[in-house]
């Protein structure tokens, strides 16, 4: 899909399952299971969907999925159903890991940053050897000193090797790293999550990350039990939805099991899905 000067492609990096109750926080199960039905262990299917942005002599990957460093036991614990090989996924687009110039990490939870590093000859090294990785400075500090709430989501092997190899660039809030790509910062899910907004004349694409993990999380109060600051996320979602509607954003979902992206409209009960978009 063309957005302004960039070509955007969705890349499915894996499938996993998470507890449905944890994914919908205070929303009763009778309501959320109409949206995404749970299995016999109350788990719901999730995708790890990344975005490749090509243009302006850049090949930018947004988030990296779970990666391939998990043992079989860990795969069971984290509910990993399928993890796709990133090299073969890129080869479908006639690219290889070497071609990636930049990796934007929304945040460093393992289902977003797991693919940032890989094991080669017993050592953990950056997966994209020619890429500069970008994360918010404040978020990086939080990952090194996590809250008790999201401690289990940070695995140092996913990001410390990036620092040691000198390929991790830490950003200070809003910045114009790439032309026509705005970085929007949120703090409700985790401290200083960054969401790229790719801007075109007729449409823009917003990378929702973990603020709207699936299309079912569009209603403001439907947010995850995992979120660090529930009241903050309510305000952030409300403001983002208003802006999304005004500026006709396409909302790109990293974790929705079926719906990659949508446009929005004002409905009877508030802002709702207008059209499903394939990317």
Q: Which stretch binds Zn ion (CB under 5 A): 39-47, 87-95, 206-214, 237-245?
A: 206-214
C-alpha distances in angstroms, 176 versus 33, 43, 132, 173?
40, 39, 15, 10
- How far apart are alpha carbons 45 and 68 in whole angstroms? 19
* Among 179, 189, 183, CA closest to 169: 183
Instruction: Tell me whether residue 1 or residue 155 sits nearer to Zn ion (CB atom).
Output: 155
Q: Which stretch binds Zn ion (CB under 5 A): 60-68, 126-134, 168-176, 204-212?
A: 204-212
- How far apart are alpha carbons 192 and 41 in whole angstroms? 32
* 37 class by beta-carbon count within 10 Å (0-12 exposed, 13-18 middle, 19+ buried): exposed
- How far apart are alpha carbons 171 and 168 in whole angstroms? 10
Instruction: Tell me whether residue 55 or residue 188 sits nearer to Zn ion (CB atom).
Output: 188
Minimum separation from the CB atom of position 180 to Zn ion (A): 26
Minimum separation from the CB atom of position 53 to Zn ion (A): 21
Minimum separation from the CB atom of position 29 to Zn ion (A): 22
The answer to whether residue 254 forms part of the interface with Zn ion (CB under 5 A) is: no
Beta-bridge mates of residue 27: none
- How far apart are alpha carbons 121 and 125 in whole angstroms? 10
Q: Which residue is nearest to Zn ion (CB)?
A: 109
Instruction: Tell me whether residue 44 or residue 90 sits nearer to Zn ion (CB atom).
Output: 44
Per-residue contact track with Zn ion, 210 to 239, x per CB under 5 A?
x-----------------------------
Instruction: Tell me which of 15, 59, 69, 109 binds Zn ion, using CB under 5 A.
Output: 109
- How far apart are alpha carbons 33 and 2 in whole angstroms? 34
Q: Which stretch binds Zn ion (CB under 5 A): 51-59, 118-126, 207-215, 245-253?
A: 207-215
Interaction site with Zn ion (CB under 5 A): 109, 210
């Amino acid at each position: 899909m063309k957005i302004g000067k960039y070509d955007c492609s969705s890349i499915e990096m894996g499938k996993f399952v998470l507890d449905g109750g944890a994914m919908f926080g205070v929303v009763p199960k009778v309501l959320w299971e109409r949206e995404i039905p749970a299995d016999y262990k109350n788990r719901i299917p999730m995708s790890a969907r990344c975005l490749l942005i090509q243009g302006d002599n850049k090949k930018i990957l947004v988030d990296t999925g779970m990666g391939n460093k998990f043992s079989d036991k860990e795969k069971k614990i984290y509910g990993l159903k399928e993890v796709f090989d990133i090299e073969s996924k890129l080869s479908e687009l006639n690219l290889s890991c070497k071609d990636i110039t930049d990796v934007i990490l929304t945040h460093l939870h393992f289902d977003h940053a797991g693919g940032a590093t890989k094991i080669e000859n017993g050592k953990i090294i950056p997966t994209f050897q020619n890429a500069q990785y970008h994360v918010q400075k404040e978020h990086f500090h939080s990952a090194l000193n996590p809250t008790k709430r999201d401690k289990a989501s940070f695995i140092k092997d996913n990001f410390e090797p990036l620092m040691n190899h000198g390929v991790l660039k830490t950003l200070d809030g809003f910045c114009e790293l790439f032309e026509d790509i705005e970085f929007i910062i949120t703090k409700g899910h985790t401290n200083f999550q960054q969401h790229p907004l790719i801007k075109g004349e007729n449409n823009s694409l917003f990378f929702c990350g973990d603020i709207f993990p699936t299309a079912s999380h569009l209603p403001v109060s439907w947010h995850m039990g995992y979120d660090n600051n529930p009241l903050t996320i309510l305000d952030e979602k409300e403001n983002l939805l208003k802006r999304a509607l005004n500026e006709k954003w396409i909302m790109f979902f990293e974790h929705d099991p079926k719906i990659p992206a949508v446009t929005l409209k004002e409905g009877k009960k508030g802002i709702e899905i207008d059209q499903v978009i394939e990317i």
